[in-house]
Structure 1
Amino acid sequence: MALGLGQLFYVLLFFINGIAVLSEERFLARIGWSAQMEPAGFGGGESQSIKYKIINLISAVRTLMRIPLIGINIVVIIYELILG
């Protein structure tokens, strides 16, 4: 019943996959979290709110992690098929 490192890795992988597949047009824009709806001061310093930092994080994960996630998911699927 203990949470091991393998299960923690799976939880992190599922969480990042969930962020990566969020549709900006269908979901994020509907709740007001679209990257196109940024305020004028979005790029600068301490005036950023938590909401805009989360929007920036979601955008970065969707941009930077798309290709590595494909490879990581393939490796995990093959691992599960072989060693189950």
Structure 2
Amino acid sequence: MPTLWTLLQAFLLFLNGVAIINNERFLEKYGWGFSQMGSGNSIGPSPGTLKLQVIGFIHAAKFMRWPLIIANIVVILVKMVFG
């Protein structure tokens, strides 16, 4: 049975993975890049779609690098002390 601490660690690992995704090498190639955010034409996704929300989340995770670094340090220290 997963505890709250285990779920927090899993979410932190997920955010770490999202934060290091390369936009030009991976996301743009598959149509999930940041250039999709500004496209209001009929070719791109309509505003408010799930795809735009995921792209926005990925874009926001890129700016959360320092809080992620601090959270990683806290988790590492807790794991070192408590096992």
Q: Which TM-score band (shorter chain)?
A: 0.7 to 0.9
| Secondary structure of the corresponding residue to residue 30 of structure 1 | helix
Q: 2:8 aligns to what?
A: 9
Q: Which runs of 5+ in 1 are unaligned?
A: none
CA displacement, residues 12-53 of structure 1 (integer Å, 9 cap, x when unaligned):
111111111111111111111110233136xxxx84321112
AA aligned to 2:59 is S
Total equivalences in the alignment:
78
Q: 1:59 aligns to what?
A: 59
| Secondary structure of the corresponding residue to residue 59 of structure 1 | helix
Pair 78,47 (structure 1): closer, same or farther in 2 beyond 3 Å: closer
**Residue correspondence of structure 1 range 1-84 to structure 2 within 5 A:** 2-38=1-37, 39-40=39-40, 47-63=47-63, 65-84=64-83
AA aligned to 1:23 is N
Q: Which runs of 5+ in 2 are unaligned?
A: none
RMSD over equivalenced CA pairs, Å: 1.7
AA aligned to 1:59 is H
AA aligned to 1:73 is N
2: distance between equivalents of 1:40 and 1:29? 17
Q: Larger deviation: 8-17 or 31-40?
A: 31-40
Structure 1 segments of 4+ aligned residues over 3 angstroms from their partners? none
